[in-house]
Amino acid sequence: MNEQTIPYKIYLEEDEMPKYWYNLRADMKNKPAPLLNPATLKPMTFEDLQPVFCDELIEQELDDTTPYIEIPKEIRDFYKMYRPAPLVRAYNLERKLGTPAKIYYKFEGNNTSGSHKLNSAIAQAYYAKKQGLKGVTTETGAGQWGTALSMACAYLGLDCQVYMVKVSYEQKPFRREVMRTYGANVTPSPSLTTEVGKEILRKHPGTTGSLGCAISEAVEAATKQEGYRYVLGSVLNQVLLHQSVIGLETKTALDKYGIEPDIIIGCAGGGSNLGGLIGPFMREKLRGEKDYRIIAVEPASCPSLTRGKYAYDFCDTGMVTPLQKMYTLGSNFIPSANHAGGLRYHGMSSTLSQLYDDGYLEAVSVEQTGVFEAAKFFAQIEGTLPAPESSHAIRVAIDEALKCKETGEEKTIVFGLTGTGYFDMVAYEKFNNGEMSDYIPTDEELEASFAQLPVVPEA
Ligand SMILES: *Cc1c(COP(=O)(O)O)cnc(C)c1O
């Protein structure tokens, strides 16, 4: 198709938006390993998971054979309030870099929560409501997930209890206030409202908390209250499933204009946006129909794919969750205090872990100063202030585009711009003041963390 006819921003028509989510696991020959019950080391059953998760979400979690799952009409109606998300051609960035590469980004920051997380929040809240529950509990780190869930719960009239990592609770008062405006109850974690929180505070008085610790508290809160379940914003199979709307829209938009990507790039925290973005492309790759380079980008200070172990581990610090086989740094791993770029989770989605282990996915780690340089450059050239998390993908997209400049290759690069950075100004401030440094964990530090991995005999 003639270059000139490709719009600056590609928006799908309403009737082109996905009506089904895509379940990537259905096309994988090597399925992700099952969740294990930590007490028995047997695969978690529906009944095992029932006290913690909503019924229909458990079915989605355990389903690795159904490729397409219908998106309920109520959820599609909610998606219409902020989707389709645009696929933007980064003409200005290309020009500024002087690259022959064509760069596109899928922008998920066009909603008040500011990120892709709303795609799964509304789905999880919907199934909780449908089951007749009173409310849900969750954790939030930087606050995007908590905000997204508060929005979804407000819309459906569900109670929303958020355990927010204490350091974020204190440093991001506006995030907290957005959640409260949407009606959520926000508790700084660790707190004295749960047994596991009390235990952590007893062992580590003065701790500013971690995501793993907030997860433990939220799970306990869900299981102790009648009519409540726990919901999680990343890592789980069900979240990747809901996030597949990102990739499905991207594929439809590219196909509409006959654009063939060569490289697809996404940042990877727990793996949900990347898993969602690459879904339909990975499908073709798994079926041997097409080939793409698919790159996961993670922080050098929290390098689960590039330096982690592929092993069973807990999903949280308090060791209350099932065991998941994944690339992990150990559930006790906490990135150094000067890490400001997000993506702090110690593990990775089991689906992405298996794809990476099978060689379908590449991974690179980048240092935060390079990430913020890319973020600032992008903000000035393309106008949008990116979230630090998203800027990991920007960094690598720029690096790949610069390689094309050297070789003269006209590659087409697609990356996920997962959100906006309005609430990340403390991190930007550090960077602007020249106070940001890079900390990369040593092998000894990682070994010490690996030594605490649970012992699970090979199946
Ligand atoms: C949460 C978040 C991420 C990382 O989470 P994934 O599950 O790996 O997608 C990336 N970008 C933004 C803006 C986020 O809020």
Give the list of residues 6+ apart from residue 280 with CB closer than 8 angstroms, or none.
22, 244, 247, 248, 250, 251
The string of DSSP codes covering 21-51 is EE-GGGG-SSPPPPPB-TTT-SBPPHHHHTT
Pocket lining for ligand 1, CB < 6 angstroms = 115, 117, 144, 234, 267-273, 343, 387, 389-390, 418-419
Q: Is the dihedral of CA 194, 117, 132, 182 positive or negative?
A: positive
Q: Are 149 and 160 within 8 A, CB to CB?
A: yes
Mutate to test the pocket of ligand 1, among 165, 234, 241 (most ligand atoms within 8 A of CB): 234
How far away, in angstroms, is 140 Cα from ligand 1 center?
11
Mutate to test the pocket of ligand 1, among 107, 371, 389, 390 (most ligand atoms within 8 A of CB): 389
How far away, in angstroms, is 408 Cα from ligand 1 center?
32
* pLDDT tens digit sequence for 78-101: 999 999 999 999 999 999 999 999
- Residue 388 has a pLDDT of 96
Which atom, in ligand 1's list, is nearest to the CA of 142? 15
How far away, in angstroms, is 427 Cα from ligand 1 center?
16
How far away, in angstroms, is 273 Cα from ligand 1 center?
6
- Residue 6 has a pLDDT of 84
pLDDT averaged over every residue in the chain: 95
* pLDDT tens digit sequence for 225-284: 999 999 999 999 999 999 999 999 999 999 999 999 999 999 999 999 999 999 999 999
* pLDDT tens digit sequence for 34-93: 999 999 999 999 999 999 999 999 999 999 999 999 999 999 999 999 999 999 999 999
Nearest to 80 by CA among 20, 10, 15: 15
How far away, in angstroms, is 389 Cα from ligand 1 center?
6
Q: Which residues pair with 103 in a beta bridge?
A: 413
* pLDDT tens digit sequence for 302-343: 999 999 999 999 998 778 889 999 999 999 888 887 888 888
Mutate to test the pocket of ligand 1, among 113, 116, 243, 304 (most ligand atoms within 8 A of CB): 116
Nearest to 110 by CA among 80, 70, 132: 80
